[in-house]
Structure 1
């Protein structure tokens, strides 16, 4: 059994402001190299996809035609294939019929809500209660001592933004 070793990147701490500036430049260089490599990879994926697309479409069309034929045959011969069951084993595979569970679809949810409430069918309307975090941030003193609530303030993020020139293509 192989043992997997985890190694963490060891930080090299710059010793001077010049070293720090050089490291930020290196971060920018590495980020741009990363993005170029990602763009090249995506270009290759795009080319491969474009090349394979006609074959994929032809195979998909053939599969759909075969599925339609198999379904038509099985529908016509369901009783002899399944008897009283819902599945038939045909040596190279099986076919089955399954009843989907009931589902509800709603278009125009606001109008549906208004209609349900107007008709006295409020039992079909869900009222969601949840803590109001915005109000809590406005009155943090009122929440002191309540278990499960903590308000975090003063968190500072450290962000490194290497300088880059931007170019725009005129429209």
Structure 2
């Protein structure tokens, strides 16, 4: 016959309930001591983490410098051979056996210097469509009609091209037991 197991219920022990005002004051003092101990431990932990972070950053610095130098070398070669690598500008990516390089043009952006003077110039030239009702220059509208603001002092449209190197990476898989 199967034996029936008893279900045991465990309860958390009741906390020590102070019986007097002095007992309460003593518990409050203990809370303060323990709180300060926790703060000291947190300070010690943060100091230790800061030292560790600094140590690892210093150890990583030579690798960062090698990457930056290699990136500059790869970019110099690729810029010198750009037409060949991009099929005379038809593509913006070239695959090497160990990775790829990309030329990516960022979207154009509008930079304004002397915003009040630019707004005055836009109004004077009848180009108020480039001014938002809340009295700020509408950069998106300028990007849509860049020729309309040619010669307006304080407006410059710029576009930056990024050069990206992406190494191929393969993850190792766990070998199955034979």
Q: TM-score range by the shorter chain?
A: 0.5 to 0.7
Residue 73 (structure 2) aligns with: 69
Tell me how large the CA RMSD over aligned residues is.
3.2
- Once the two structures are TM-superposed, the CA of residue 33 in structure 1 deviates from its matched residue by 2.3
Equivalent pair of 1:116/1:122 in contact (CA under 8 Å): no
Equivalent pair of 1:87/1:94 in contact (CA under 8 Å): yes
Higher relative contact order (CA 8 A, sep 6+): 1
- Once the two structures are TM-superposed, the CA of residue 18 in structure 1 deviates from its matched residue by 5.1
Q: Secondary structure at the match of 1:97?
A: strand
Equivalent pair of 1:88/1:94 in contact (CA under 8 Å): yes
Q: Is 1:35 paired with 2:39?
A: yes
Residue 102 (structure 2) aligns with: 96
Q: 1:117 to 1:105 in 2, by over 3 A?
A: closer
Residue 47 (structure 1) aligns with: 51
Q: 1:32 to 1:81 in 2, by over 3 A?
A: same
Equivalent pair of 1:74/1:81 in contact (CA under 8 Å): yes
Q: Secondary structure at the match of 2:105?
A: coil
Which runs of no fewer than 5 residues in structure 1 stay unpaired? 1-11, 129-171
Give the one of 50, 54, 57 matched to 2:61. 57
Equivalent pair of 1:116/1:125 in contact (CA under 8 Å): no
Equivalent pair of 2:112/2:118 in contact (CA under 8 Å): no
Q: 1:123 to 1:103 in 2, by over 3 A?
A: closer
Q: 1:36 to 1:59 in 2, by over 3 A?
A: same
1:99-114 mapped onto 2 (5 Å cutoff) = 99-107=105-113, 111-112=114-115, 114=116
Instruction: Name the structure with the higher strand share.
Output: 2
Q: Looking at CA atoms only, which structure, 1 or 2, has the larger radius of gyration?
A: 2
Q: 1:123 to 1:87 in 2, by over 3 A?
A: closer
- Once the two structures are TM-superposed, the CA of residue 40 in structure 1 deviates from its matched residue by 1.1
Which runs of no fewer than 5 residues in structure 2 stay unpaired? 1-14, 136-178
